Chains A and B, each alone.
Chain A
Amino acid sequence: DSGVTQTPKHLITATGQRVTLRCSPRSGDLSVYWYQQSLDQGLQFLIQYYNGEERAKGNILERFSAQQFPDLHSELNLSSLELGDSALYFCASSSGQDDYGYTFGSGTRLTVV
């Protein structure tokens, strides 16, 4: 157990639908990062939150949004889903201030049919 919890582990949904992925960071970590891992794109950074505030944004589609709540858990919302959104979505956490790297969760596998 890495200390970063992601739910659900698997999600199958239809095109056009909306889903919410949840991440609880490791205890004490203030920063949460979301990544998308697909076969042809590798690991793509989506967005970072630090202590409730958006800190950095990567290649995140307008159909996707995220937030970090006061208890520091984060949610990634994906709407108007397309087949190409099928991927592994990882959450990672860190203290947000040092170079010790991230701790990753085990991911949510999203399949859009």
Chain B
Amino acid sequence: GDSVTQMEGPVTLSEEAFLTINCTYTATGYPSLFWYVQYPGEGLQLLLKATKADDKGSNKGFEATYRKETTSFHLEKGSVQVSDSAVYFCALGFAGNMLTFGGGTRLMVKP
């Protein structure tokens, strides 16, 4: 079946550091790929998405590129802030169907 693998956390960075959270997937066909963010005590919010190979999703300084050849969708940000501290989930899905989530990666940013 479909699956998503994320790097385990926590990831601890200093403010203004570069962030990479790795995500790889296994799927039959060509799914859409998503990154969701969960702040403490809240639900998941869609951060960015890409629907086909080589698409780049971006939002709030975060970026991820859909790489079909490496089945990856790594999340990057050039300069993290304390307010980016949260749990980040990579997910895949096909139109109208359930999403399959990775295990989540906790990011902690220190001032």
Contacts of A105 in B (CB 8 A): 43
Interface residue? A103 (CB, 8 A): yes
Contact assessment for B44 and A100 in the assembled complex, using a CB-CB cutoff below 8 Å: no
Q: How far is the CA of A105 from the CA of B101 in the complex (A)?
A: 16
Given A99-B49, A99-B51, the answer on whether A42 and B104 have CB atoms closer than 8 Å is: yes
Contact assessment for A96 and B103 in the assembled complex, using a CB-CB cutoff below 8 Å: no
Query: Who on chain B is nearest to A48 by CB?
Result: B98
Nearest-CB distance from B1 to chain A (Å)?
Answer: 11
On chain B, which size bracket covers the interface? 20 to 34
Residue interface mask B91-111, A partner, CB < 8 A = 1: 001111111111110000000
Query: Who on chain B is nearest to A94 by CB?
Result: B96
Interface residue? A74 (CB, 8 A): no
Given A33-B98, A42-B101, the answer on whether A101 and B93 have CB atoms closer than 8 Å is: yes
Q: How far is the CA of A50 from the CA of B14 in the complex (A)?
A: 44
Nearest-CB distance from A1 to chain B (Å)?
Answer: 11
Interface residue? A107 (CB, 8 A): yes
Task: Tell me which of B36, B89, B95, B98 contacts A99 (CB under 8 A).
Answer: B95
Interface residue? A62 (CB, 8 A): no
Q: How far is the CA of A92 from the CA of B97 in the complex (A)?
A: 12
Contact assessment for A106 and B42 in the assembled complex, using a CB-CB cutoff below 8 Å: yes
Contacts of A83 in B (CB 8 A): none
Interface residue? B46 (CB, 8 A): yes
Nearest-CB distance from B29 to chain A (Å)?
Answer: 12
Given A56-B98, A98-B95, A99-B32, the answer on whether A106 and B89 have CB atoms closer than 8 Å is: no
Q: Which of A36-81 contact B (CB under 8 A)?
A: 42-43, 45, 48, 50, 55-56, 58
Which 3 A-B residue pairs are closest in the complex by CB-CB distance? Answer: A104-B43, A99-B32, A43-B101
Residues of chain A touching chain B, judged by Cβ–Cβ distance below 8 Å, are: 2, 4, 31, 33, 42-43, 45, 48, 50, 55-56, 58, 90, 92, 94-107
